[in-house]
Amino acid sequence: MSSALPLEGVRVVEFTHMVMGPTCGMILADLGAEVIKIEPPGGDKTRRLPGLGIGFFRSFNRNKKSVVLDIHSPEGRDTAVELIGQCDVVIENFRPGLMAQLGLDYATLSKRFPRLIYASHKGFLPGPYERRTALDEVVQMMGGLSYMTGPEGRPLRAGTSVNDIMGGMFGAIGVLAALRERERTGRGQEVQSALFENCVFLVAQHMQQYQMTGEPPPPMPSRVSAWSVYDVFTLADGEQLFIGAVSDRQFQTLCEVLERRDLANDPTLATNAQRVAVRPALLQRLGETLRHWRIDELSARLEAAGLPHAPIRRPDQLVDDPHLRASGGLVPMTTDEGDTTQVVLLPLRMGGRRPGVRQPLAKVGEHTEEVLSRLPSST
């Protein structure tokens, strides 16, 4: 990208691992900040996670520099403090109390660097729970999300690290606001983002629903739908398609697409309220028709008619999604091992462009000499 990015000139030092803190740093890096990731000797253990964690490092650490420091040693801590003095922002997401033990907490650093912005990512904001150990799944369970996602009596976590990722997003939002405020006041501040509070924000609409109705909201699989046709249907060859018809006009259009004039002309199905009252029977009747349709043909007809619909896609199928590729949201990145992978960019455009990949994924300690040679102690 030839022109300057919004955060060009902002310098960030990142003490993070896993997902939450790295997401915050990646957002700032994608937007142009120089983000220096501090890794322990041997590298961030997130690089070597197996199973569902195998993609964490590549997904959330692009556009960063890697510096190896042992912050548990006096020499490493001294170097870290010297580096922090040259930076605008510190990001961390270690267990509560660790950075204070090392003298790398905001209370200590701000005395020496009053302009410093310090983004701390934790399980909980200050309060009775703040010392608890938290994971994304833990807060999904206690924050209402798993209850709302799974069938009644079977709480189910969301299928991705929603709170870790969104917690990093809110951390980045806080950093951007703190940078703006520093322009006015000349002083930095601590920004705190937390998994539990993030999860509660996600279910805030359901909390408000309870306060307005006095009735606990049912889990999403048990909900009473506001619309008669708003469901997943099984088509020919076992393919599945979500179809929504959220107005009387859309229901009429759907009947035309499916060649079900009998349903369109049925006076007992004229309004959405009437259809919701007989929803199970209506869905069964539609299902009997839909199981004979092939997904490609039906999708084309639904799109032409302007009706909401969606195939049920797996993440692996999105790697070749034509829209993601055409919109510039899925691009190649050279990995730390020298091969190429496809990565998902931030879901936004600025001035008609997508903030993209500017450099290969850093190898462990690749930028240690470059970054540390700029410190006064090295001259």
- 155 and 94, same domain (yes or no): yes
- 258 and 329, same domain (yes or no): no
- 68 and 198, same domain (yes or no): yes
Q: What is the per-residue DSSP string for 41-86?
A: TT--GGGG--GGGTTHHHHH-TTEEEEE--TTSHHHHHHHHHHHTT
- pLDDT tens digits for range 320-363: 999 999 999 999 999 999 999 999 999 999 999 999 999 999 99
Number of structural domains the chain divides into: 2
- The H or E element spanning position 26 is helix 20-30
The pLDDT of residue 51 is above 80: yes
1: in domain: no
pLDDT reported for residue 1: 42
Q: 295 φ, ψ to 5°?
A: -65, -40
- pLDDT tens digits for range 278-293: 999 999 999 999 999 9
304: in domain: yes
| Contacts for 149 with CB less than 8 Å, ≥ 6 apart | 140, 155, 156, 157, 158, 219, 220
The whole-angstrom separation of Cα 365 and Cα 41 is 9
- 122 and 181, same domain (yes or no): yes
What is the DSSP pairing of strand 340-344 with strand 330-334?
Answer: antiparallel
CB 160 within 8 A of CB 145: no
CB 155 within 8 A of CB 83: no
| Contacts for 279 with CB less than 8 Å, ≥ 6 apart | 225, 228
Rg over CA atoms, the chain: 25
**Residue numbers of the domain that contains 130:** 11-203+321-378
Place of tokens 């190898």: 363
Average pLDDT over residues 241-261: 97
| DSSP, res 323 | H
219: in domain: no
Domain boundary residue, one of 314, 333, 356: 314
- 133 and 174, same domain (yes or no): yes
4: in domain: no
**For the chain, what is the mean pLDDT?**
96
The pLDDT of residue 379 is above 70: no
The pLDDT of residue 167 is above 90: yes
The pLDDT of residue 230 is above 60: yes
Handedness of CA 183, 185, 187, 191 (dihedral sign): negative
The pLDDT of residue 2 is above 50: no
Residues pairing with 64 in the sheet: 35
- 107 and 171, same domain (yes or no): yes
Short-list 203, 192, 189, 178, CA closest to 130? 192
CB 168 within 8 A of CB 21: yes
The whole-angstrom separation of Cα 130 and Cα 123 is 7
| DSSP, res 202 | H
Average pLDDT over residues 82-94: 98
3: in domain: no
Q: How confident is the model at residue 182 (pLDDT cuts 50, 70, 90)?
A: very high
- 266 and 297, same domain (yes or no): yes
- 237 and 171, same domain (yes or no): no
- 166 and 18, same domain (yes or no): yes
- 297 and 335, same domain (yes or no): no
- The H or E element spanning position 208 is helix 204-213
- 65 and 176, same domain (yes or no): yes
Domain boundary residue, one of 258, 279, 314: 314
The single-letter code of the amino acid at 265 is N
pLDDT reported for residue 224: 80
CATH number of the domain within which 265 lies: 3.30.1540.10
Average pLDDT over residues 235-248: 97
CATH number of the domain within which 142 lies: 3.40.50.10540
210: in domain: no
CB 362 within 8 A of CB 37: yes
Residues pairing with 343 in the sheet: 331
Q: How confident is the model at residue 225 (pLDDT cuts 50, 70, 90)?
A: confident
pLDDT reported for residue 296: 97
Domain boundary residue, one of 296, 314, 332: 314
- 300 and 184, same domain (yes or no): no
213: in domain: no
212: in domain: no
The pLDDT of residue 3 is above 90: no
The pLDDT of residue 101 is above 50: yes
Q: How many CB atoms lie within 10 A of CB 302?
A: 22
The pLDDT of residue 40 is above 70: yes
Neighbouring C-alpha atoms within 13 Å toward the C-beta of 179:
20
The whole-angstrom separation of Cα 204 and Cα 221 is 18
